[in-house]
Amino acid sequence: MRIKIINPNTTWSMTEKIGACARSVARPGTEIVAVSPAMGPASIESHYDEALAVPGLLQEIAAGEREGIDGYVIACFGDPGLMAARELARGPVVGIAQAAMHVASLVGTRFSVVTTLSRTIGQARHLAQAYGMDRFCANVRACEIPVLELEAPGSKARERIVDECRRALEQDGSDTIVLGCAGMADLCAHIGQVLGVPVVDGVAAGTQLVESMVNLRLQTSKRGELASPPAKPMEGLLEGFTIAPTAPALKRAA
């Protein structure tokens, strides 16, 4: 089984860390391919960043389909381009926010999301609502740590994240923590040990969910909304994203 973990930003040190976290939970025989797109933002901290990250993400999905990848994890807590990726992919595609929230709802009754910057709180709340998780989501909290600071030598990010998780448990009435950034994946075990509650990292949760779906022989439905995108030309910078007609369609047209 080959699972592609796509970090939609272009910071390779973070991609390497995310890949290591995925490999630490993957089953024997599962190959983890961790990648960043060739184009896009260095970090994703706004709607603008997220929109510009999607084309590079979709390029990686298309490449994975040519390479015979069995399933995908989108390793950004905004789950950018998730539905478009599912249109392109045969196998399962899981976003880490959706994975983490669903797993958290199975190990506790209320979870708090602890993320990076307060400007991303609204997006996390929107996803909780869209995924039907708002009744489990007690709060979304920010540590006011830029994503790239998680990679900075000597950063106090770990201590600040632990402190915010502790406040979440004390003030929100939550019993479970969801880490709201793929760059926090390596902190999961440490925070769980310090606080003594389930701490869910979406990279690990997404990896194991994709493994399970592949083992169950479940692929993305191609009936209705998630059918392959209709063939049409693209112009300008997006010319390389043109969807060509399939061979059967060409034969019918002839």
**pLDDT at res. 249:** 34
Asked if 18 and 185 touch (Cβ cutoff 8 Å), the reply is yes
Q: Does 109 share its domain with 193?
A: yes
Q: Does 118 share its domain with 165?
A: yes
Average pLDDT over every residue of 218-230: 94
Of the candidates 195, 194, 196, 139, the residue with the CA atom closest to the CA atom of residue 172: 139
What percent of the chain clears pLDDT 90, i.e. is strictly above it? 83
**pLDDT at res. 246:** 58
Residue 247 has pLDDT above 60, yes or no: no
Q: Does 104 share its domain with 181?
A: yes
Q: Does 66 share its domain with 118?
A: no
Q: Residue 80 belongs to what domain range?
A: 2-95+206-224
pTM (global) more than 0.85: yes
Average pLDDT over every residue of 59-75: 97
Instruction: Count Cα neighbours of 142 within 13 Å in the Cβ-side half-sphere.
Output: 15
Residue 248 has pLDDT above 50, yes or no: no
Of the candidates 89, 102, 115, the residue with the CA atom closest to the CA atom of residue 181: 115
Give a yes or no: residue 74 inside a domain.
yes
List pLDDT tens digits, range 69-100. Answer: 999 999 999 999 999 999 999 999 999 999 99
- Provide the number of structural domains found in the chain: 2
| Averaged pLDDT of the chain | 92
Give a yes or no: residue 158 inside a domain.
yes
List pLDDT tens digits, range 17-42. Answer: 999 999 999 999 999 999 999 999 99
Average pLDDT over every residue of 191-205: 95
Give a yes or no: residue 159 inside a domain.
yes
Q: Does 88 share its domain with 41?
A: yes
Residue 123 has pLDDT above 60, yes or no: yes
CATH code for position 82 = 3.40.50.12500
**pLDDT at res. 201:** 96
Asked if 157 and 150 touch (Cβ cutoff 8 Å), the reply is yes
Average pLDDT over every residue of 219-244: 90
Q: Does 217 share its domain with 172?
A: no
Q: Which residue has the higher pLDDT, 186 or 1?
A: 1
**pLDDT at res. 151:** 76
- Cite the DSSP H helix spans in the chain: 12-25, 47-67, 82-88, 96-107, 121-130, 157-172, 188-195, 202-215, 247-253
